[in-house]
Structure 1
Amino acid sequence: MAKLPKPPKPVPKSRTIPVTPATPLQRIPRIKPAPQSRRPDPTPKESWQRVWSERPKISDLQRLSDEQLRSAQHQAKLRRWRQWPLFGIGLVAFGMGMYGVMLYASVMEDVEHKELPDDLIDRFDRNAEGYDEKVDMSETLLFITSRRKRLTAQAKGHVLEVAVGTGRNIPYYNTKECATVTLLDASGPMLAVAKRKWNDTHKEYFSRVFFKQQSALQPIVPPWDAQDGYDTVIQTMGLCSTPEPVKLLQNIEASTNENGQILLLEHGKSHYEWLNSMLDKTAPAHADEHGCWWNKDIGQIVEESGLEVVNIQRYNFGTTWWVELKPRKGLRKKLSETPAQQPPVAPTESPVTPKSSWAIWR
């Protein structure tokens, strides 16, 4: 006979498990992520700084093992950076080649000779607005722009710039070193461009700059607080465009303080006769187009002026002249004692020593 199952034992009251009533589900609020600000596109300067910071350095090469130096990643990095100097060399070679081709074409072209007037100021009036674009490339390739910057940085005190043109030196002025700046040119349209350029680069200094439209062959009157003359006189590419360069230098000297400086950056004759013959052949056409005779003998002009030569340097086969001059002692006093109706007479003895003479720079 089968046994019946035993009934389950009752659970003691002390062992009952308490059951908590079910609670309704609570909705957890969703946290929205903070909006991420969109990073602006890097500027060209930032991009160049990033590329420059990733360049291969010698210190890195010294720490790399032979296996790392031969790795594909390192070789790709080197190949990428070798492209930059090759690109720069190619660009310079292309620019110099184009400039040489244009110079050769202008030299070999038959030029119709015609009588030109002594005063070519109308050429500057005509080319004022587009002048900078015409000369930018050639001056950059010949390093004239960097020499303009170095020359203008020496300006201090009461400054006079003669033949300022469109103001190609204006961005390089250290206005903190200048008490006043006088910008002089005979061309009204050229001076108007220079005035706009000064307003764009040194607007806060506009109250102490003076614009004079006059020929540098006429007497130049310094500001009221510079009765002893200008402390610095600058002229770049000005002797080539005046019919009386010696008189211009003497007139500049008459307006300069005895302890002042006269700084010139000019273009003229070369060291080499073959280049001088090319300049002589193309000078009339160049003057007719641009108002500039680029075959003048700057050294001879400086010597005939009688000014004291401090330094002369020549670049670009001798065609670019860097000249530093000083006025002669006692000249301003002598000019002030000269009667107004008589023209001032320059001293017969030139203080230029043989060491400083232009002839040694041929």
Structure 2
Amino acid sequence: MVARLTRPVRGLKPLQNSCINPWISSHTAKRTLHLSSQQSAKAKNPLPRSPPPTKPAIDANPLIYRTSKQAAQSPNTSLKPPAANGEKATVDTIFQQRKWAFMGAGFAALALGFYITSVVASLVKSPTPSCAAGACANPATAGPNGTPLMPTGRPPGLEQAKGDERRLSAETFDRELDVPEFIGGYKKLRKEMGKWARGRVLEVAVGTGRNLPYYDWTELVEGVMPLQGEKAEAEREKLRKEKEKREQKRARKVKRAMKAKGEEVDVEKAKLPGRFDGEMLSYTGVDISADMMGVARTRLRDTVPGLKMLLRRIRAEPMPERGTVVDILDSRVRLCIADAQEPLPLPPPTTAAPPDADPGKYDTIFQSFGLCSVSDPVKLLSNMASAVQPGTGRIFLLEHGRGYFDFLNRWLDQTSEKHFNKHGCWWNRDIEAIVQEAARTVPGLEVVHLGRPLLRMAGTTLVIELRVNPDAVAQKT
């Protein structure tokens, strides 16, 4: 039975068709009334909101076996969400990102601490007998206190070795200098000074050839290096492009020179090779030690482009006590065993000198750690002054000696004999005083620059530039 409605239901349209089944119409009206009553009840009594879901508790014992379903539902607490932009990185993250920098700084601090500890420990000791009377204050010409330990330019360890052991000792001596020179900054200084090589170059006390990798050999080997084989054409094209670049670079230097000097510059003369720094036309290396020269020969072979095709790795003939060891590339590259305190070899005649230059003089002379290794350093400076081109030629010295502080100089005095026995040089000499004495006694020799770079070395490293004044030479002669 369908109950009769006592009042019209809201939202129902009156029936337009009287042919509709009365049971369907009454059933529809009843369902509509039921839905309307539910909506009004919901409006009067709204359902309470469900609380936000809570985070699942972290398992106190992660080792308990879980089912796969539980493992899938449990959150992965090992993966941390990425840090927000404003969030600071943790100490662990910073260390992981910069661990190599921290490790390098730690090793550097350890080395510095060891060095400082060694210095302090040596200072608290009593002075050695050879320096007790103050004879080491200025050992200008010989060993301390008149001892017979006269520098010869050879490390004493090499002189005591015999046969093949002497060459191995020279190679070991060279390798042992790698770390001290890197820490001391000498490697950087050698590289910078190598850029100053110009024209016909003479290196005195070449030693094991530690300056050789820092010279520019491109001008020197041009037109002399043999080109054979399949790669000959490619090498010629490469040399041609390098020559064009050098000519453009030289032209820019000429323009800068004209602007800087404010006077007329002979452009054609300035365009000649060997006029600017870095343009080396020939190289002659001199050292008194045959064993050290053997190491220098190997380094020269590995450094100069193309020399591996012309020089054997090991010299077949025994190393002479005096004379030429290498004479190659039309005498543009030479190594000679000679005493630098005696007359030095002349430049190669095959290298044409500029029209206004003396063909028997060098344009650049280098000398590294030689004044501390000879018995008469003033005589060595006099020899170099007689071999350099007056006026335009330069002598460059890289030396170590007494520094700024008295306590450091005392330490140099106390350890000088031990250092001499290992390296063959007195590192406590007053190099500045030696150079000034030579400038007073050698005709025309002038100090252009005397600097003490490398602040961490406390003034014990010196870079010196010398020249010979042609006017002073003319007056004294």
TM-score interval, smaller chain: 0.5 to 0.7
Partner of 2:179: 137
Q: How many residues align?
A: 271
Partner of 1:266: 399
Q: How does 1:127-166 map to 2 (within 5 A)?
A: 127-166=169-208
Matched, 1:67 2:90: no
Q: How does 1:324-335 map to 2 (within 5 A)?
A: 324-329=465-470
Partner of 2:374: 242
**2:149 maps to which of 109, 113, 117:** 117
Q: How does 1:335-350 map to 2 (within 5 A)?
A: none
Alpha-carbon distance in structure 1 between the residues aligned to 2:339 and 2:121: 34
Alpha-carbon distance in structure 1 between the residues aligned to 2:294 and 2:472: 34
Q: CA deviation at 1:99?
A: 3.1
Alpha-carbon distance in structure 2 between the residues aligned to 1:109 and 1:167: 38
- Aligned-residue Cα RMSD (Å) equals 2.8
SS of residue paired to 1:263: strand
Question: What are the Cα deviations for residues 65-108 of structure 1, in whole angstroms up to 9, with x where unaligned?
Answer: 99335387x99764433323222211211222333344455664
Change in 2 beyond 3 A, CA 1:317/1:119: closer
Q: CA deviation at 1:111?
A: 5.3
SS of residue paired to 2:383: helix
- 2:287–2:340 CA contact under 8 A, matched in 1: yes
TM-score using structure 2 length: 0.52
Alpha-carbon distance in structure 1 between the residues aligned to 2:466 and 2:449: 7
Structure with max Cα Rg: 2
Matched, 1:216 2:354: no
**Percent identity over paired residues:** 36
Alpha-carbon distance in structure 2 between the residues aligned to 1:272 and 1:241: 23
Q: How does 1:22-171 map to 2 (within 5 A)?
A: 67-70=84-87, 78-104=94-120, 108=125, 113=130, 115-123=147-155, 125-126=158-159, 127-171=169-213
Matched, 1:173 2:215: yes
SS of residue paired to 1:68: coil
Alpha-carbon distance in structure 2 between the residues aligned to 1:149 and 1:233: 15
Change in 2 beyond 3 A, CA 1:282/1:230: same
Partner of 1:301: 434
2:403 aligned partner, one-letter code: S
- 2:151–2:375 CA contact under 8 A, matched in 1: yes
1 or 2 for the larger relative contact order (CA 8 Å, sep ≥6)? 2
Alpha-carbon distance in structure 2 between the residues aligned to 1:112 and 1:288: 16
TM-score using structure 1 length: 0.67
Which consecutive unaligned segments of at least 5 residues does structure 1 have? 1-64, 335-346, 349-362
Question: What are the Cα deviations for residues 307-344 of structure 1, in whole angstroms up to 9, with x where unaligned?
Answer: 2112111131110001111122157778xxxxxxxxxx
SS of residue paired to 2:395: strand
Q: CA deviation at 1:250?
A: 1.1
Q: CA deviation at 1:204?
A: 2.2
Q: CA deviation at 1:160?
A: 0.6
Which consecutive unaligned segments of at least 5 residues does structure 2 have? 1-81, 131-144, 160-168, 219-278, 308-327, 354-358, 440-444
Question: Displaced runs of 4+ in structure 1, greater than 6 A?
Answer: 74-77, 331-334
**1:199 maps to which of 276, 296, 301:** 301
- 1:116–1:288 CA contact under 8 A, matched in 2: no
Q: CA deviation at 1:300?
A: 1.0
